[in-house]
């Protein structure tokens, strides 16, 4: 099946459990509804002529008067004795400490160079790295401008977010995992799970074999392997529940790497992500996947229970036996039915940007990743999924 044509809301929609040979873009009605101020003190500076025999008067900032000489600011002694003691040195004003650095501006990748503090004796710390669209290299830092004393020290680097690269050479494929120490809400790289087991904190759904494997991987040494079967309406997923999702149930960004091997020759409707929740009196199951025969195009699909479904294909095709990065966002807060977006290897796919009644995104009570099939086909396949990330902001493929 190639690209699905768009039809009106009155068009026939496919029922749950049926092949999506007639899957169309369908509108299904669901009843919605910081400046450092440098203050420098002035020295005492008044003086007067010295009287004979008494030496110079105390001058401001002068040195001790020499015999018969003048004290700083004083007149010469006339037949007098040695001028009286040393003059006082004026006390300078206090020097303020440096202001903190200003954070870097947003950037891609990373924040722009942060400015230092004001011109104090001890310079202000550099600003934090700027936050761009997605997580990347930290924003660069500059020292605060020093006063007459030591220059400012460098500020700590911010966890700058930026750099949503679309160049697979930057994705770090075959390199180490990037989950350790990441700022993301959920980042599962399967590295801590033994081969043959499932990662802690996930719930299995479905009957197909699914387990961590060391056979292939995008990064690190492990990935999730799914034995994709041929029977209608079968699946294998690892899910997170609403209690685990928190705010991500309402709006989230997702990212996975995946690879599919040994595709069938007959028509398939596959999904690799699904999440469900109530909306407008029905339960909506929201999915990212593929449909097609021989070649498979990316798909956004929503199944209503009870009811029918809506779907929308993109022209972009699945590349077999190749690690691919896909990202998406699902936002139920957009008025009228929510908003979906999708990125393939860092580039957005415009035809999968759906809003309102063409999106129909609920507040999820669960979602997860894996593989499922909605029709019978001829050849079993093997799918791998790696570095599963969910967060409140876009993630990128090189992070």
Task: Write the DSSP assignment of 242-298 as a string of letters.
Answer: HHHHGGGGTEEEEEEEEEEES--SS-EEEEEEEEEEEETTEEEEEEEEEEEESEEEE
Q: Token pair 């009196």 is at which residue?
A: 281
In angstroms, rounded to a whole number, what is the distance separating the alpha carbons of residues 99 and 117?
5
Query: Are 120 and 96 contacting, i.e. CB atoms less than 8 angstroms apart?
Result: yes
Assigned token pair, 392: 């409140």
Please name which of 179, 108, 4 lies closest in space to residue 346, comparing C-alpha atoms: 108
Percent of the chain with pLDDT over 90: 59
In angstroms, rounded to a whole number, what is the distance separating the alpha carbons of residues 215 and 293?
27
Residue 332, sorted as left (phi over 0), alpha (psi -120 to 50) or beta, turns out to be alpha
Any idea which of 36-45, 60-69, 162-171, 178-187 has the lowest mean pLDDT?
Answer: 36-45
Report residue 87's pLDDT band, with 50, 70 and 90 as the boundaries. Answer: very low
> In the predicted model, is pLDDT for residue 48 greater than 60?
no
Report residue 227's pLDDT band, with 50, 70 and 90 as the boundaries. Answer: very high
CB neighbour burial string for 245-272, b if at least 16 within 10 angstroms, e if fewer: beebbbbbbbbbbbbbeebbeebbbbbb
More confident residue, 109 or 180: 180
Report residue 164's pLDDT band, with 50, 70 and 90 as the boundaries. Answer: confident
- What value does the mean pLDDT take over residues 303-330? 97
Report residue 106's pLDDT band, with 50, 70 and 90 as the boundaries. Answer: very low
What number does CATH give the domain 168-391?
2.60.120.200
In angstroms, rounded to a whole number, what is the distance separating the alpha carbons of residues 254 and 239?
13
State residue 246 phi and psi, 5-degree precision: 60, -135
In angstroms, rounded to a whole number, what is the distance separating the alpha carbons of residues 166 and 172?
12
Question: Which residue intervals of the chain bear CATH 2.60.120.200?
Answer: 168-391
Any idea which of 36-50, 159-173, 186-200, 378-392 has the lowest mean pLDDT?
Answer: 36-50
Query: Are 209 and 377 contacting, i.e. CB atoms less than 8 angstroms apart?
Result: no
Query: Are 357 and 228 contacting, i.e. CB atoms less than 8 angstroms apart?
Result: no
In this prediction the pTM is 0.64
Assigned token pair, 313: 């294909």
| Cβ neighbourhood burial of 222 (10 Å; 0-12, 13-18, 19+) | buried
> In angstroms, what is the C-alpha Rg of the chain?
35
In angstroms, rounded to a whole number, what is the distance separating the alpha carbons of residues 101 and 124?
6
Report residue 163's pLDDT band, with 50, 70 and 90 as the boundaries. Answer: low
Give the chain's end-to-end CA distance (angstroms, integer).
34
> In the predicted model, is pLDDT for residue 142 greater than 60?
no
- What value does the mean pLDDT take over residues 177-191? 97
* Average pLDDT of the chain to the nearest whole number: 72
User: Helices then strands (H, E): number in the chain?
Assistant: 1, 16
């Amino acid at each position: 099946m190639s690209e699905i044509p768009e039809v009106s809301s009155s068009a026939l929609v496919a029922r749950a459990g049926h092949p999506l040979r007639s899957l169309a873009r369908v509108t299904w009605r669901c009843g919605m509804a910081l400046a450092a101020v440098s203050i420098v003190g002035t020295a005492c500076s008044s003086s007067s002529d010295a009287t004979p025999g008494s030496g110079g008067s105390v001058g401001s900032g002068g040195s001790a008067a020499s015999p018969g000489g003048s004290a700083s600011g004083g007149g010469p002694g006339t037949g007098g004795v040695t001028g009286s003691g040393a003059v006082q040195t004026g006390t300078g004003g206090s020097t303020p400490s440096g202001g903190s650095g200003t954070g870097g501006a947003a950037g891609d990748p990373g924040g722009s160079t942060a400015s230092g503090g004001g011109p104090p004796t001890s310079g202000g710390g550099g600003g934090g790295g700027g936050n761009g669209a997605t997580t990347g290299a930290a924003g660069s830092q500059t020292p605060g401008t020093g006063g007459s004393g030591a220059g400012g020290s460098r500020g700590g680097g911010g966890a700058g977010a930026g750099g949503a690269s679309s160049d697979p050479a930057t994705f770090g494929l075959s390199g180490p995992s990037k989950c350790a120490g990441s700022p993301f809400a959920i980042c599962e790289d399967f590295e801590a799970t033994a081969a043959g087991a499932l990662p802690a904190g996930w719930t299995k759904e479905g009957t197909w074999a699914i387990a961590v494997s060391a056979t292939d991987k995008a990064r690190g040494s492990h990935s999730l392997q799914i034995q994709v079967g041929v029977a209608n309406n079968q699946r294998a997923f690892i899910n997170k529940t609403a209690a685990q999702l928190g705010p991500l149930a309402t709006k989230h960004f997702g990212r996975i790497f995946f690879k599919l091997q040994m595709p069938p020759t007959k028509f398939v409707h596959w999904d690799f992500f699904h999440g469900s929740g109530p909306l407008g009196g029905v339960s909506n199951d929201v999915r990212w996947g593929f449909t097609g025969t021989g070649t498979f195009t990316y798909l956004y699909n929503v199944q209503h229970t009870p009811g029918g479904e809506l779907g929308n294909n993109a022209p972009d095709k699945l590349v077999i036996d190749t690690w691919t990065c896909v990202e998406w966002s699902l936002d139920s807060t957009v008025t009228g039915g929510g908003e979906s977006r999708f990125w393939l290897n860092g580039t957005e796919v415009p035809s999968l940007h759906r809003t309102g009644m063409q999106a129909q995104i609920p507040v999820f009570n669960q979602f997860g990743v894996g593989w499922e099939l909605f029709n019978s086909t001829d050849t079993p396949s093997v799918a791998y999924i790696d570095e599963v990330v969910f967060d409140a902001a876009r993630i990128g493929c090189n992070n």
